[in-house]
Chain A
Amino acid sequence: MAGCGREDLSTMNPQGPVAEEQFGLMKLSISIMVLVVIVVFALAFYVMVRYRRRPGDKTIPVQVEGNHKLEIIWTVIPIVLLLILGVPTVKSVFGLAKDYTKDPNAVQVIVTAKQYWWEFEYPQYGIKTSQELMIPTGKTVSVQVKSADVIHSFWIPALAGKIDANPGANVNTMYFSADQDGVYLGKCAELCGPSHALMDFKVKSVNQGAFDRWVTAMKEPGKLPADPEIAAVFEKQCLTCHAVGDKGMQLFPNLTGMGDKGTVAGILVNTDDPKYSNEGSTYDNLKRWIEDPQAVKPGNSMPKVDLTPEQIDGIAKYLSEYKLDVEQ
């Protein structure tokens, strides 16, 4: 399936039942439409070649007014084709609108979109995380999506189509699940300001055991930097907006377990083998982000904090080593 794009991103490589169902409808409609296109193209090219005007041709063709039989044919056939497409469409519209928000067996997540990051709250467990939505593989995840500022749209192409994050009371619900463990790329799909293009997130699907360990670890008291000087700076400069465990404020992305995350700020990919300009080690990415957040993500709310290079080093090192180690 290499032609169908990345397994963690492409709509044509569905990794869960919802995306699978949507892909099925896409395949059905594409098949019907390819048929239509082939018929029309064939007719059009045949006509253009067959009835081209030869040089010096002065004849007047027969002036045909119309043909009822033909006209009925090309009215009825499209209606039949539309029925073939319309019936499964309606069925799927209602199927995908199923409400799992009251289902105790589903993982409930309240998604709040903000310029330009995502907050994920688990009301069943009383925890909040950001940028990486942790889900247990195979289990239905029921999301309620809203926005804290402008309209965003919550989209995980490989797992499920999108739903808008509206401000105010227009909260939307959707469900999905992942068939296999893995990390799936999520995107904001509604223009929301300068950094709309960079408002990426991840969905990390892990086995039930790891998920439970993660929930437990998220509830543990936050660990502060070992170096008391860095810890003081961190508390004063970072925890006024961010949180680790039970410490700090939950206004902006929760930093608990930063060392486990796949990206910094959603787009600086953490890897030990950087290939592209948006890749680096977790430590390097954190440093790059803290040094100049506006250069990474224009228009976001994080200011250039008043820190010395040593303090940035210390904080980046501490955060990159802050791991929950839930995947054993």
Chain B
Amino acid sequence: MAHAHPVKRYTGLMDWLTTVDHKKIGILYLIAGGFFFLIGGFEALLIRIQLWKPLNNFVSADTYNELLTMHGTTMIFLAAMPIIFALMNAIVPLQIGARDVAFPFVNALGFWTFLFGGLLLNVSWIAGAVPDAGWTSYLPLADPTYSPGKGVDFYVLGLQIAGIGTLVGGINFLVTIINMRAPGMSFMRMPMFTWSAFITSALILFAFPALTVGLVALMFDRLFSANFFNVSGGGNTVLWEHIFWIFGHPEVYILILPAFGIISEVISTFSRKRLFGYSSMVFATVLIGFLGFMVWAHHMFTVGLGPVANALFSIATMLIAVPTGIKIFNWIFTMWGGSIRFTAANLFAVGFVPTFVMGGVTGVMLAAAPADFQYHDSYFVVAHFHYVIVGGLVLGLFSGLHYWWPKIFGRMLSEGLGKLTFWTFYIGFHLTFFVQHFLGLLGMPRRVYTYLDGLGFNSMNLISTIGAFLMGIGTIIFIINIIVTAAKPKTASNDPWEDGRTLEWSIPSPAPEYNFLQTPLVRGYDALWKEKMDGNTGMSPAEPIGPIHMPSGSILPFIMSFGLFVAGFGFMYANNEWTGFVKEIFASHAVAGLGLGITLTCMIIRSLKDDHGFHIEPEELTKKEVKE
């Protein structure tokens, strides 16, 4: 039924605004996430400048609290999550032999809601009312009495809108991985990165609704004077802590599991060896995801939950060390007997292993509740979670970006600059955070805008600041690498590392818009490697060449998200100190209504207007193949 539809195919900027192609959405996620990563990193540098010496006056106490709040919130929600989504979008459909994700329109919607939510959060800097109650926004500090400005409103509504994007993205990947695998790609033949994306998506599905509920309650407290967390109105602040961490702890695994997946792929490829203990890796990933929901109260040992809760959550937390240990040893034994090539991507991956172990063991130390009474909210915790998130996740992301860059952009990043990025960033990282363990043990609490002289904190804080700048230099080198690479021609081959094992290396770099000319037939784990070992040049097709059905682009996701952005603003400034007409349209909720109206109208259009997409005909396909 290959009849041609008259379909508009956009070019230029409109192409990017309307795209529903998972590869382009991946690039959009990467650009936006990278942008927020730079903002969050800049905030981190300002924090470290303030702390380089005791009683420094570089920023005020208020500004410091804004910086620490925005650094944490930006890095977790607007930098780490989107860059993970960038790699998941760019790679997962290719790894399972799919032509796109299950819901391309929803995929675009997820990106744009994230972007507009993130922008709303950061507009707070321009509006001059920045969230300052920490990324955890504990109540009552974040309630209207103690945070009277609009700052925390930006946090609540920005995250609420960005959270929609994450949730629909997670659902999309679950459906994609369950339904769209190529023939022969059984679950136990899926590449490890796809497995980790699958488990991460499941965690998103169960964890993000908790955040959404919490944020709705907080929004009602702040905007409509509800009493969920208002002690004098019968509310309870510990409730917020539970809700936040029921989301917040799985969030940690949402972040780290994809990094585990990346490391598994990279180490295996560059050791030229099959991943050691694949099935135990899968099992460990599932188990970590499951246990991740059972341990949230270890963030709350000092809240006063009582010895029974503290004991249970101590033991549950320690248990996570077991599957994590399995993974670590599997990686080491993947390299054992291999032929290890130290590309920039692999340097990040092998650098990850010992670093993550250090973050992991301090995690077990923190799990012992009575000892945690000493560590909790001290710099020891700051050191621990930066070892896990930067030493784990960020190294993993750098590794994945260097590894898959040719598949995403068709160009190889410079190896020399990549290695330089690794060494500056890696050394800078350990300088910054290793000493912070000791600062915490010596009695320095976290989230302090300054510290007194003579307490023995000075030299270690100075070292930490120097390290932070080294990490900044590493990041700049990476950006230079991107720019230099962008100027080069697109010459990357299908399998530029020559030892590619998984399906994405069987197709051109970058992948054509339909990914696979013919859906591949998967005959085993490490599908491409198996064909190589059997002496075949590529995958055998599972279908003849035929017309390929493609979804058409749409501007609706962009407008829909913009509507939410306007609505967020409208609700936030319904209570304002302006005068005249502007006050009226905000106070009457006209702006909020307009925003919601835009979004609802787009939803109606999307629901009522049939769009069957279009087909790429075999003639066009073969012509392209010849040209390439």
Q: Which residues of A contact B (CB under 8 A)?
A: 4-6, 9-12, 19, 21-23, 25-26, 29-30, 32-33, 36-37, 40-41, 43-44, 47-48, 51-53, 57, 59-67, 70-71, 74-75, 78-79, 82, 85-86, 89-90, 92-94, 96-97, 149-151, 153, 155, 157-158, 160-164, 166-168, 170-172, 185, 187-198, 200, 267, 269, 275-278, 298-299
Whether A63 pairs with B304 at a CB distance below 8 angstroms is no
Q: Is B364 an interface residue (CB 8 A)?
A: yes
A residues within 8 A CB of B146?
Answer: 149-150, 193
CB pairs A–B below 8 angstroms (10 shown): A9-B442, A22-B373, A41-B354, A44-B350, A47-B332, A52-B340, A53-B341, A168-B236, A189-B376, A191-B133
Taking a contact as CB atoms closer than 8 A, the residue among A9, A48, A168, A267 that contacts B443 in the complex is A9
Known: A53-B340, A168-B237, A194-B61. A64 touches B332 (CB 8 A): no
Cα–Cα, bound, A311→B361 (Å): 58
A residues within 8 A CB of B601?
Answer: none
Whether A172 pairs with B304 at a CB distance below 8 angstroms is yes
A residues within 8 A CB of B533?
Answer: 60
Cα–Cα, bound, A197→B377 (Å): 12
Q: Which residues of B contact A (CB under 8 A)?
A: 54-55, 60-62, 65, 133-134, 138-141, 146, 231, 236-238, 271-274, 276-280, 302-304, 306-307, 310-311, 314-315, 318-319, 321-322, 325-326, 328-330, 332-333, 335-342, 350, 353-354, 357-358, 361-362, 364-365, 367-374, 376-378, 441-443, 445-456, 533
Total A-B pairs, Cβ < 8 A: 296
Cα–Cα, bound, A108→B60 (Å): 38
Known: A168-B236, A189-B376. A86 touches B315 (CB 8 A): yes
**How far does the Cβ of A69 sit from chain B's closest Cβ, in whole Å?**
12
Whether B340 pairs with A51 at a CB distance below 8 angstroms is yes
Cα–Cα, bound, A279→B6 (Å): 79
Whether B370 pairs with A89 at a CB distance below 8 angstroms is yes
Taking a contact as CB atoms closer than 8 A, the residue among B304, B340, B364 that contacts A164 in the complex is B304
Known: A25-B368, A191-B141. A52 touches B342 (CB 8 A): yes
Taking a contact as CB atoms closer than 8 A, the residue among B55, B332, B333 that contacts A277 in the complex is B55
Whether A64 pairs with B337 at a CB distance below 8 angstroms is yes
Known: A74-B325, A191-B138. A33 touches B364 (CB 8 A): yes
**Which of A25, A61, A79, A191 lies at the interface centre, i.e. has the most chain B CB atoms within 10 A of its CB?**
A191
Whether B442 pairs with A5 at a CB distance below 8 angstroms is yes
Known: A29-B371, A197-B448. A10 touches B306 (CB 8 A): no
Taking a contact as CB atoms closer than 8 A, the residue among A10, A22, A71, A78 that contacts B277 in the complex is A71
A residues within 8 A CB of B278?
Answer: 65-66
Whether A48 pairs with B340 at a CB distance below 8 angstroms is yes
Whether A82 pairs with B55 at a CB distance below 8 angstroms is no
* Closest residue of B by beta carbon distance from A115: B146
**5 extra interchain contacts, Cβ-Cβ under 8 A, other than A51-B336, A170-B303?**
A48-B335, A61-B337, A82-B364, A163-B304, A187-B443
B residues within 8 A CB of A53?
Answer: 272, 339-342
Cα–Cα, bound, A62→B333 (Å): 12
Whether A94 pairs with B55 at a CB distance below 8 angstroms is no
Whether A166 pairs with B61 at a CB distance below 8 angstroms is no
Whether A189 pairs with B445 at a CB distance below 8 angstroms is yes
Taking a contact as CB atoms closer than 8 A, the residue among A61, A89, A276 that contacts B454 in the complex is A276
Whether A166 pairs with B237 at a CB distance below 8 angstroms is yes
Taking a contact as CB atoms closer than 8 A, the residue among A85, A97, A275 that contacts B306 in the complex is A97
A residues within 8 A CB of B54?
Answer: 276
Taking a contact as CB atoms closer than 8 A, the residue among A150, A170, A276 that contacts B236 in the complex is A170
Known: A71-B277, A194-B449. A278 touches B329 (CB 8 A): no
Whether B274 pairs with A64 at a CB distance below 8 angstroms is yes
Whether A166 pairs with B304 at a CB distance below 8 angstroms is yes
Whether B370 pairs with A166 at a CB distance below 8 angstroms is no
List the 4 closest pairs (A to B, CB-CB), nearest first: A161-B373, A197-B448, A33-B361, A194-B61
Cα–Cα, bound, A188→B302 (Å): 13
Known: A66-B280, A192-B141, A278-B452. A97 touches B65 (CB 8 A): no
